[in-house]
Amino acid sequence: MEKFIMVGCDLHDKTMLLKMAVARESAVKRSWGNNASGRSAMVADLKRRAAAVGASRIIFAYEASGLGFTLHDELTAAGIECHVLAPTLMERSVKHEHRKTDERDAEAILASLRGWLLAGNPLPEVWIPDRRTRDDREITRSRLDVADKIAAVKAQVRCLLKRNNVGPAPGRAWTAEYGTWLNHQEKSGLARGATVHLGTLLRQLEHLGSERDWLNDEVLRLSQTDRYARQVGAVVRQLKGVGVLTAMVFLTEIGDVRRFTSRQAVGSFLGLTPNSYETGESDDRKGHISRHGPARIRKVLCQAVWSRLQSDVSARQKYDRVAAKNPKHRKKAVVALMRDLGILMWHKATAALAA
């Protein structure tokens, strides 16, 4: 009978706590530093343990996080089978949430591996994007991050003006006329402290605006490469309200569109399908959307939907129809249109690759 070592890892920025076991044997705990030397020593230790017990496979798992896939890449290169699990799909009891420790987290991951290998239970894995996709994401994510920073600084400017009882401003906010008015306030309309604060905020906005424009050019350049040109062209040309940035965020976050086999799978990945609750004889009750998957896609889809409502008659009709059923919950209409748009973008991108 084949022997294998199973390893559940609770991964952190500086440490890795491992729970290791062979089949149904008791688990052993070890800790390593999460750095190049620590990971190298961990791999060597795992291979020594495998040789000592005659194990032909080492199966390693950890939860996805903002630390990326460096550990996965290094383990795979070392010949260790590695699985990255989705934290949102890991089943945890209320007791676990109130008694959360690194060791218990590692034990839960090890238990998932055991259930998968020994009992055939499903393993809640995430899809591992290739290195090129990960690198492309850095550009689109930087662009979204700069937009968030601009919005935050603008909110600071508004609060500063309110605190100092300045206003009302002429015309619409953040137009050229508004900018001229703000510059006048900086020079003559405020006390010294508020003038200094407003000045630094306006300089931040100027710098962030330059960064946004530069990143827009980078996103456009990326969209014109062979990897994305056909898909972006099909999506932007055929779907109103969808621009290059929306298309590129969608494509880089979703990865290979051909890995999805149904519209239901796409909707679930986007986190735009409702939760359900069913027990005993009670009917299946639908709740809020799951919000699983990348929030960045939901953000750009929401923005695109509001743009489509101004230019697409069919989208507006569906919005009015759904909103009429839920006059106090008009967000449901927006969510329905976001889900439809995400699935439409998937269809167009898939068709473009097949053409």
Does residue 336 lie within any of the structural domains? yes
**pLDDT for residue 280:** 63
Do 19 and 86 lie in one domain? The reply is yes
Q: Residue range 170-196: average pLDDT?
A: 87
For 254-269, letters b (16+ CB in 10 Å) and e give bbebeebeeeeebbeb
Last residue of a domain, one of 58, 85, 119: 119
**pLDDT for residue 100:** 82
Residues written for the chain = 355
No. of helices (H) and no. of strands (E), the chain? 13, 7
**pLDDT for residue 274:** 83
Number of domains in the chain: 3
Do 57 and 73 lie in one domain? The reply is yes
Does residue 150 lie within any of the structural domains? yes
Cis peptide before 168 (omega within 30 of 0): yes
Q: What is the CATH number of the domain that holds 26?
A: 3.30.420.40
The residue that leads in pLDDT, 89 or 61, is 61
Name which of 57, 59, 71, 65 is nearest 112 in CA terms: 59
**pLDDT for residue 279:** 64
Interatomic CA distance for residues 48 and 29, integer angstroms: 15
Interatomic CA distance for residues 8 and 113, integer angstroms: 8
**pLDDT for residue 278:** 67
Last residue of a domain, one of 119, 140, 173: 119
Place of tokens 């040789």: 51
Give the alpha-carbon dihedral of 107, 113, 114, 120, to 10 degrees.
150
The winner for highest mean pLDDT among 83-92, 220-229, 308-317, 331-340 is: 220-229
Does residue 126 lie within any of the structural domains? no
Q: Above 90 in pLDDT, residue 159?
A: yes
Q: Above 60 in pLDDT, residue 131?
A: yes
Pairing of strands 15-22, 28-33: antiparallel
Do 210 and 286 lie in one domain? The reply is no
The residues, ordered by sequence, that sit 6+ positions from 240 with a Cβ below 8 Å of its Cβ are 307, 308, 311, 312, 315
Digit-coded pLDDT (tens) for 208-256: 999 999 999 999 999 999 999 999 999 999 999 999 999 999 999 999 9
Interatomic CA distance for residues 107 and 10, integer angstroms: 9
The residues, ordered by sequence, that sit 6+ positions from 22 with a Cβ below 8 Å of its Cβ are 3, 4, 5, 6, 53, 55
Digit-coded pLDDT (tens) for 18-70: 999 998 899 999 999 999 999 999 999 999 999 999 999 999 999 999 999 99
Does residue 328 lie within any of the structural domains? yes
Digit-coded pLDDT (tens) for 185-196: 888 778 889 999
Whether the Cβ atoms of residue 58 and residue 47 lie closer than 8 Å to each other:
yes
Domain residue limits at 142: 131-223
Tokens linked to 178: 């508004």
Pairing of strands 15-22, 4-11: antiparallel
The sign of the CA dihedral 243, 249, 255, 258 is negative
**pLDDT for residue 93:** 64
316 class by beta-carbon count within 10 Å (0-12 exposed, 13-18 middle, 19+ buried): middle
Do 101 and 13 lie in one domain? The reply is yes
Interatomic CA distance for residues 289 and 293, integer angstroms: 11
Pairing of strands 57-63, 28-33: unpaired
Query: Directed axis angle between helix 244-254 and helix 229-238, to 10°?
Result: 130
Last residue of a domain, one of 223, 246, 264: 223
Q: What is the DSSP string of 151-166?
A: HHHHHHHHHHHHHTT-
Does residue 124 lie within any of the structural domains? no
Digit-coded pLDDT (tens) for 271-313: 998 877 666 665 655 677 878 888 999 999 999 999 999 988 9
The chain-wide mean pLDDT, for the chain, equals: 92
Interatomic CA distance for residues 301 and 246, integer angstroms: 7
Do 255 and 201 lie in one domain? The reply is no
Does residue 125 lie within any of the structural domains? no
Do 51 and 106 lie in one domain? The reply is yes
